[in-house]
Chain A
Amino acid sequence: MNRPTETSEKKLTRRDVLKMAGIGGVGLLVGAGGMRALFPQATQAEPASSGAASKSGSIPFYGKNQAGIVTPMQDFISMAAFNLTTTSLVDVRKLFQSWTLASARLTAGQPVDDEIDNPHLPPIDTGESMGLAAMKLTITFGVGASFFDDRFGLASKRPAPLVDLPRFNSDEINPDWSDGDIVVQVCADDPQVAFHAMRNLARIARGKAVLHWMQEGFQRTALADPSGSTPRNLLGFKDGTNNPVASEPQLADEIVWANSAESPAWMAGGSYMAMRRIRMRIEVWDRSSLTDQEATFGRHRDSGAPLGKSGEFDDLELDRKDHKDKPLIAPDSHVALAHMDGKVKILRRSYSYSNGMDVKTGQINAGLLFICFNRDPRTQFIPMQQKLAAADKLNEYITHVGSGLYACLPGASEGGYIGDTLL
């Protein structure tokens, strides 16, 4: 990752890279260095920019890969899983065709389709994004393991990396917030634009697929932090310092995109997304001392620096000892475990969520909608999560309550549709 600066990198501001790193609670991420290679003076503020988006703020929908994966993180997410109610493969194909056409229009800042001039009909578009810009809207589709069951005759096409996730230590997974035949990730720099897209996609699906779960999420916006520093999770810590720089094609190939070594040909250009709904025990965290909080993460809260260091991007140097000859950064701290000896990397793209009050306890129902992309979860996400689930100090304050693994489909070219290599 000490490659010299390339042209592709010039298009990205530091903020974009940081946004790519994402907020994300449980820093399941490793591979430092990239940030510093790109931005040696990482503390200097730079103005925000639209990054890969066009001047009008739109990100092209068609392409080799789907947008919304290595795209710098937008400010908001609306995410949902659908279950198919149809048992006809023809209908499934039709659904993806309709979704593709709609998504291409929506991401360009257009209504879902042209209106028909008949006042006796409900409007074609639901209208709440009328006059709004595209706001870097991306729509990303994936399919879960159940998509390959016996309903559609696709069992033989199930990719080997799309395994059933194992049960991780202390998981309290609620099936209502997990899995699903299809996942749709909608991201945008405006919550109404994101909601509008998801709503219209759900409307298109009616009769073929039903919502299984839906969750909205946020991170701090560009307006609130023009300098684009590393975002903080809801536990108050900087999160995403070590996310790989996915704009580097070679790195993305290595970490993110499906490879023919493990994946079927129809997945070329696709990726695997792991989703974990992680409830944070906010009230418990709030009564922990600063020392405990910092020991839990292995970093200083204010600076984000590794314990005993001053710069956010300083090397962890996990072998450092304190005066009692104990590791300065505890081996069961979040950052130490997630480091995975620097060998395992995933691309995180998580958002915080708040669902108001937990009616049972009267506490705040908030946490992290953890999303990551990887080339093969069997060697990336799963071993990393196993390690964290087994020992992470942070587990005292978080509970994984929803879970899903999805094969994010390759991108489509104009005239084709998302899923056309599979269906």
Chain B
Amino acid sequence: MATSLITYATVAFPLHGGDVRAPSAVFEQIFEVFLLLGTAVGVVVVAYTMYHALKYRDDGSGTDPYADKVERPEMGELPTGGTGGRKVFYSFSISAIIVVSLIAWTYSQLLYIEQGPDPAQEEALEIDVEGYRFGWDFIYPNGHTANTLRVPQDRVVRLQVTSTDVFHNFGIPELRVKTDAVPGQYTSAWFTANETGTYAAKCYELCGSGHSLMTTDVVVMPQDEYKAWYNGTEGSAGSGDQPAANGTATESASLGTPTAGDVATTTGGAPA
């Protein structure tokens, strides 16, 4: 199964993101395997534990059925180990093999998530995300800034996430996207959405009194609709589309120019 996945990730891609293996698919697969194996291991080990506890329970008869086989510890003796250490090592080895091989298997998936789908990267839509107390700004390549994230269906979206005040965490649970929004630096995340619809983005790091209200909509649109919408935003670079009530308008404008230490994308302002 693992090899088929790797080939899946490395075959030459057509130029749109519909065939890209989405992070949500990677997550679901690993989660299912872990859930099944974890449940199986849990049932076996807990049953094994209970078996020992019940089989060797003191039946209250006053006689010790293992009196001739084992030596009971005496009051006041120096603590020493009991017999049966070999079984401990066998059991330990089996569990270690399961754990290590599971994690090794997920490592190839991690590499995929970390690097993103290479061929599609050329085509990726780059959006800057800025968290502030208590909302999100999404800055498109043409400079358009909005509080709702609109993305086209079946296209790789790369997010560069930062914060303009405290530590936030940007996550879209249904699409399995999550990354910290750390003031002073950028983190990145990517996703593709295969189905149109409205998803929720939330803050996952306690950031103050409005933390639980720091949610926004992620609207996945058909590609042509998205194109029409995006073209309509052309020329509204800067804070033109910014809601007036949003107190961070000036802040966002000043943040449009990345500073030396930042790893911000330099695509801001350039036409897509």
Q: Do A and B bind each other?
A: no
